[in-house]
Structure 1
Amino acid sequence: MIAASNPWQGHNFAGLLVILMIGAATLLSLIGYLCSRLTRPVRREYTPFRLWRDLSLLAAAAAIAVYLWGCLHLLFLEDQELAEKCELQRPAGTPTLVGRRGDFIPLRVVCEASNGHDYSIVIPGYVNPTVAVLLLLALTCALASAALHHRQRTTHG
């Protein structure tokens, strides 16, 4: 949200740091868990539902990594640099810029023009679509894992 008193806002720096720290800790935890699943004794005990579960976690870890990569593009930018990027990347025919805002979902920095149009800068264009596809893949794998686990429990229990 943009405060009426300051239409030239980016991302909250404290919020960005919290996201980066929690995201990095989560990513490292997922990587550690997934690496532990590669040991020979564990691989022998793999069942289809465990495979789908781990594929879901792998897709989620990849989504977190891509999102954090996008966040890193924001970390060291100052307001002046964002203002310059807004001006340099302003599409032809776009009138005067009247504001800037930072959104975490989707991850973007939006430059707002006086005609009501806006455009994104700084965050690579592939970040949000890649995160969306990876999260959809993670959800699909998690649902497949749950269905296989439920079927295994009902046929053996």
Structure 2
Amino acid sequence: MRRWVVALVGAVVAALVTVVVMRMWKSDDDLIKESIGRFTKAVGVKEGDNPISRTARIKSELAETVEADVHVSVEELGVEVSGRKDLAAEATRVGMFYQRAKADVVRVSIKREPSALVASADATVRVVGERGGAAREDLREIHFLMVKSEGRWLIRSMDVRAATQAQ
């Protein structure tokens, strides 16, 4: 009878460990979406942000979400940025023009290369900004090139397309 109890307890423990591991494990697609989501939240403008705290927050998040030599293109605004440092400076400048700005990922479509180390993601991002008391809401299509480095998916490049009015 003792063996039966030990075997049963062992089976229950194994089942619990399996459930916990499965819940903690994230797919590559989940990790890519998480990285894009963290980036879009980081570049938002919080009400009452000051340049020092904003810069520190942006630099910290960019270190976790983009490659050091990231390239960003926003054709509509004539912005071409290369490097994490320049991207942080450009993202910080947005806070000088907007009292509040928020970006939320609405949709993401991901295609991974056979190597499983490179992926492209096309995202629709809703951007809401408040400037001079007037709010504006746009949808932007953004193409991301992602690379897997040390278990994390980092943004290598972004191509931000022209805004469309949100519905």
- The TM-score range, normalised by the shorter chain, is under 0.3
**Relative contact order: is structure 1 or structure 2 higher (C-alpha 8 Å, sep ≥ 6)?**
1
Alignment TM-score, normalising by the size of structure 2: 0.23
More helix by share: 1
More strand by share: 2
Alignment TM-score, normalising by the size of structure 1: 0.23
